[in-house]
């Protein structure tokens, strides 16, 4: 037998956002109906940064993503976050593939937000606001464009250059630079900044808005004022991770938000155990931290594509 | 930059037991002196088997081993256990290498036992007893041959064929088939069976024996009668793992052995925090479960060898 090695370039050529959304939605469905397994991730914390091991299994697939966060990397010309994924046959444990999972991570994060928007946003939405114009904003935009008939994308970033670069990426979409206040007045808002101070004020948010809070993915990170959380229906991807490192982590630590206030997990909503949006007036928030079943779902999709296309590199991996 | 992919065959050509012992001993020293990091491993348990993620860092190296245990694999012609290791630069998180870690695992397990024997066995030992003649017995033998002047190796296995095969592997060593009682009467005894019932009786063990209890590596596995543990100085590789899945796991569950009875960890002994053997008469037992720092230490050794030899395969791993 062989282990397939998929480099970042090969992954890029295989990724298709429509397929990724379908795979990730299916993973949430499996998680909600008890057919997926996902132990809590573990952290290896070092002086210069940390690593996380994220194991999971969904029907027909198992594996682990191993991902680092090294904040000082950009100064050396390296990405802060790099991910490697080992993909196994759950029936035998055989390591079917090893993948550069960095780009996959951005895709599945975008897909998870668009899926949350599908279940939580109002019907007939037409505008998307992006707060932050970095790499994660790209896949948030791509994923929402797949699922919604969006007439205008408003992008804000503290760096004007980042906004320009973002707009250049999407000549086919109606993307325009905007102020923070304009961007957060859209039907769906995605926050994808590395902020450690809340900046999204409750009074800016119109009734009926859906927010994907994506930026906060580590203890101490925070984008939304706690009052906005308290006024909204909050859905998380993972109860434990959200409390530890999601948008709600700082308010919980400070006593400004309670775990009991969380409405549901996205898996519960996708699997029909809990209803999604209840009225056109409520504000909904998806607190996205990124979970391992998303990664394994995309890995399965890509692995199966390589099997079909045969356009891949195999290496003898057995002794 | 590039990620090096090391197949099982390449690993086999790079492994040298003397070097592995040195690297693993160094890792225990670092663990004992607080220079290594190793969070508890996590399990992903499925119907057909399970997976374990084993992250660790030692000075200059970090990574994770991902290893399965699928008991029904042999019927399909696949090994029960297969391991893949991702090896990272701790300073940047960059994935420097991906390795088939199955053979490495057997080597580091043998090395850990020989290191335990170095600190715990009597001086001037001359006989080695192996209970079980499978793959793990091979590296137990190799490692002890490196560190000790062994005049006779006595091998017992419930399968005569396995003993024959084992003896054929070592024409250069004084290996001979023996009964169980003869094998356990050696100066150093390594138990490497998949037993779930104790078989090693206290009355068979001579004063001054050192035992490496290697076979028990999962809940429910057990090779030694609890009374033998109670009479002996027990050293573990990891306190938590030993209680959960090591030789002491069943006796602890049954109230026949107490955690307080554990004398020390091997890291404490290698780093000089605790003394090793106190007298020629005591029986010492190393309860080996296998820990992630051992794997990362060997991965570092092999990665550095590939850098020197240039006799390896590189693949572009960046987007």
d(Cα B288, Cα B266) in Å, to the nearest integer?
A: 9
Q: CB–CB of B103 and A78 under 8 A?
A: no
Residue range B42-58: average pLDDT? 96
Mean pLDDT for all residues in chain A = 94
Nearest CA among B18, B73, B90, B12 for reference residue A1 = B73
* Residue ranges of chain B that CATH labels 3.40.50.720: 116-290
- Summarize pLDDT for A139-161 with one digit per residue, the tens: 999 999 999 999 999 999 999 99
B9, B35, B65, B154: the active-site residue: B65
Has residue A115 got a pLDDT over 70?
Answer: yes
Q: Which residues of B90-106 are buried (b: 16+ CB within 10 A; e: fewer)?
A: bbbbbbbbbbbbbbbbb
Q: CB–CB of B55 and A64 under 8 A?
A: no
| Residue B212 contacts residue B191 (beta carbons within 8 Å) | yes
**Nearest chain B residue to A60, by CA:** B46
Residue range A211-215: average pLDDT? 96
Has residue B313 got a pLDDT over 80?
Answer: no
Chain A residues whose CB is inside 8 A of the B30 CB are: none
Q: Report the residue from B12, B39, B44 with minimal CB separation from A57.
A: B44
Q: CB–CB of B45 and A56 under 8 A?
A: no
Q: Which residues of A179-191 are buried (b: 16+ CB within 10 A; e: fewer)?
A: ebebbbbbbbbbb
Residue range B223-235: average pLDDT? 97
Nearest CA among B94, B30, B20 for reference residue B56 = B30
Burial of A288 (0-12, 13-18, 19+ CB in 10 A): buried
Q: CB–CB of A44 and B53 under 8 A?
A: no
Side by side, the strands of the sheet bearing A152-156 are A175-177, A152-156, A127-131, A188-191, A210-213, A284-287, A233-236, A262-265
| Residue A86 contacts residue B85 (beta carbons within 8 Å) | no
| Residue A303 contacts residue A30 (beta carbons within 8 Å) | no
The more confident residue out of B218 and B9 is B9
State in words which class domain B116-290 has: alpha beta
Q: CB–CB of B53 and A55 under 8 A?
A: yes
- Tell me what percent of the residues of chain A surpass a pLDDT of 90: 91
What pLDDT, on a 0 to 100 scale, did the predictor assign at position A275? Answer: 97
User: Is B41 an annotated catalytic residue?
Assistant: no
Has residue B149 got a pLDDT over 70?
Answer: yes
Has residue A285 got a pLDDT over 70?
Answer: yes
Beta-bridge mates of residue B314 = B4
d(Cα A162, Cα A158) in Å, to the nearest integer?
A: 8
Residue B61 CA: distances (Å) to CA of A33, A43, A256, B39, B49: 40, 16, 40, 15, 30
Interface test with A, best of B10, B51, B59, B87 (most A CBs within 10 A): B51
What pLDDT, on a 0 to 100 scale, did the predictor assign at position A278? Answer: 96
Mean pLDDT for all residues in chain B = 94
Q: Report the residue from B40, B44, B86 with minimal CB separation from A62.
A: B44
Place of tokens 């030694």: B224
Residue range A62-69: average pLDDT? 97
Chain B residues whose CB is inside 8 A of the A65 CB are: none
d(Cα A291, Cα A65) in Å, to the nearest integer?
A: 10
Query: Which pTM value belongs to this model?
Result: 0.92
**Nearest chain A residue to B83, by CA:** A95
Chain A residues whose CB is inside 8 A of the B10 CB are: none
Residue range B74-90: average pLDDT? 95
Nearest CA among A313, A301, A20 for reference residue A140 = A20
Q: Which residues, 6+ apart, have CB-to-CB distance to B279 below 8 Å?
A: none
In the structure, what pLDDT confidence band is assigned to residue B293 with cuts at 50, 70 and 90?
Answer: very high
What pLDDT, on a 0 to 100 scale, did the predictor assign at position B21? Answer: 98
d(Cα A16, Cα A231) in Å, to the nearest integer?
A: 36
What pLDDT, on a 0 to 100 scale, did the predictor assign at position A165? Answer: 96
* Residue ranges of chain A that CATH labels 3.40.50.720: 112-290
In this structure, the strands spanning A95-100 and A2-6 are parallel
Has residue A312 got a pLDDT over 60?
Answer: no
Q: Report the residue from B73, B84, B316 with minimal CB separation from A92.
A: B73
d(Cα A301, Cα B189) in Å, to the nearest integer?
A: 49
In this structure, the strands spanning A42-45 and A50-58 are antiparallel
Residue B187 CA: distances (Å) to CA of A242, B172, B211: 54, 21, 9
What pLDDT, on a 0 to 100 scale, did the predictor assign at position B318? Answer: 43
The more confident residue out of A302 and A218 is A302
Beta-bridge mates of residue B213 = B191, B287
| Residue B119 contacts residue B25 (beta carbons within 8 Å) | no
Q: Where are the beta strands (DSSP E) in chain A?
A: 2-6, 42-45, 50-58, 61-69, 81-88, 95-100, 127-131, 152-156, 175-177, 188-191, 210-213, 233-236, 262-265, 284-287, 314-316
What pLDDT, on a 0 to 100 scale, did the predictor assign at position A316? Answer: 46
Q: CB–CB of B318 and A11 under 8 A?
A: no
d(Cα B38, Cα B61) in Å, to the nearest integer?
A: 12
What pLDDT, on a 0 to 100 scale, did the predictor assign at position A311? Answer: 43
Nearest CA among B18, B282, B285, B290 for reference residue B148 = B18
| CB-CB neighbours of A128 under 10 Å | 29
Residue range B171-176: average pLDDT? 94
Q: If you count them, how many residues does chain A have?
A: 319
| Residue B299 contacts residue B265 (beta carbons within 8 Å) | no
| Residue A27 contacts residue A294 (beta carbons within 8 Å) | yes
Residue B200 CA: distances (Å) to CA of B159, B167, B239, B263: 17, 23, 22, 20
DSSP B271-304: TTSS-----TT--EEEE----HHHHHHHHHHHHH
Domain A112-290 coded CATH 3.40.109.10:
no
* Residue ranges of chain A that CATH labels 3.30.1780.10: 2-104+293-316
Q: Report the residue from A64, A68, A90 with minimal CB separation from B53.
A: A64
Residue range B106-124: average pLDDT? 97
What pLDDT, on a 0 to 100 scale, did the predictor assign at position A217? Answer: 85
Nearest CA among A216, A233, A215 for reference residue A281 = A233
What pLDDT, on a 0 to 100 scale, did the predictor assign at position A307? Answer: 82
Q: If you count them, how many residues does chain B have?
A: 319
Residue range A249-278: average pLDDT? 97
What pLDDT, on a 0 to 100 scale, did the predictor assign at position B147? Answer: 97
Place of tokens 């670069």: A165
CATH H-level superfamily of A2-104+293-316: ornithine cyclodeaminase, domain 1 (3.30.1780.10)
What pLDDT, on a 0 to 100 scale, did the predictor assign at position B309? Answer: 59
In the structure, what pLDDT confidence band is assigned to residue A228 with cuts at 50, 70 and 90?
Answer: very high
Residue range A156-179: average pLDDT? 95
Q: Where are the beta strands (DSSP E) in A142-296?
A: 152-156, 175-177, 188-191, 210-213, 233-236, 262-265, 284-287
Q: CB–CB of A319 and B9 under 8 A?
A: yes
What pLDDT, on a 0 to 100 scale, did the predictor assign at position B2? Answer: 79
């Amino acid at each position: 037998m062989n282990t397939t090695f998929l480099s970042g370039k090969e992954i890029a050529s295989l990724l298709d956002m429509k397929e990724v959304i379908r795979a990730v939605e299916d993973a949430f469905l499996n998680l909600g109906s008890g057919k997926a397994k996902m132990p809590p991730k573990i952290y290896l914390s070092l002086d210069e940064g940390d690593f996380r091991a994220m194991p999971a299994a969904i029907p027909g697939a198992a594996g682990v993503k191993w991902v680092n966060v090294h904040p000082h990397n950009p100064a050396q010309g390296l990405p802060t976050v790099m991910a490697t994924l080992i993909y196994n046959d759950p029936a035998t444990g055989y390591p079917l593939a090893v993948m550069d999972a960095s780009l996959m991570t951005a895709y599945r994060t975008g897909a998870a937000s668009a899926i949350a928007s599908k279940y939580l946003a109002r019907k007939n939405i037409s505008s998307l606001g992006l707060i932050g114009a970095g790499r994660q904003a790209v896949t948030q935009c791509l994923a929402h464009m797949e699922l919604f008939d969006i007439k205008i994308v408003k992008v804000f970033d503290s760096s004007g250059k980042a906004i320009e670069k973002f707009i250049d990426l999407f000549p086919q979409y109606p993307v325009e630079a905007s102020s923070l206040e304009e961007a957060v007045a859209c039907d769906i808002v995605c926050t994808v900044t590395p902020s450690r101070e809340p900046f999204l004020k409750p009074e800016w948010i119109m009734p009926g808005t859906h927010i994907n809070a994506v930026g906060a993915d580590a203890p101490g990170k925070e984008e939304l004022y706690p009052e906005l959380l308290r006024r909204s229906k909050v859905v998380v991807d993972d109860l434990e991770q959200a409390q530890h490192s999601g948008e709600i982590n700082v308010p919980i630590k400070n006593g400004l938000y309670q775990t009991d206030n969380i409405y549901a997990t996205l898996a519960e909503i996708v699997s029909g155990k809990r209803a999604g949006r209840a009225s056109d007036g409520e504000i909904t928030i998806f607190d996205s931290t990124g979970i391992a079943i998303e990664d394994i779902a995309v890995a399965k999709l890509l692995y199966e594509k390589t099997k079909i296309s045969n356009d891949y590199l195999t290496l003898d991996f057995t002794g």
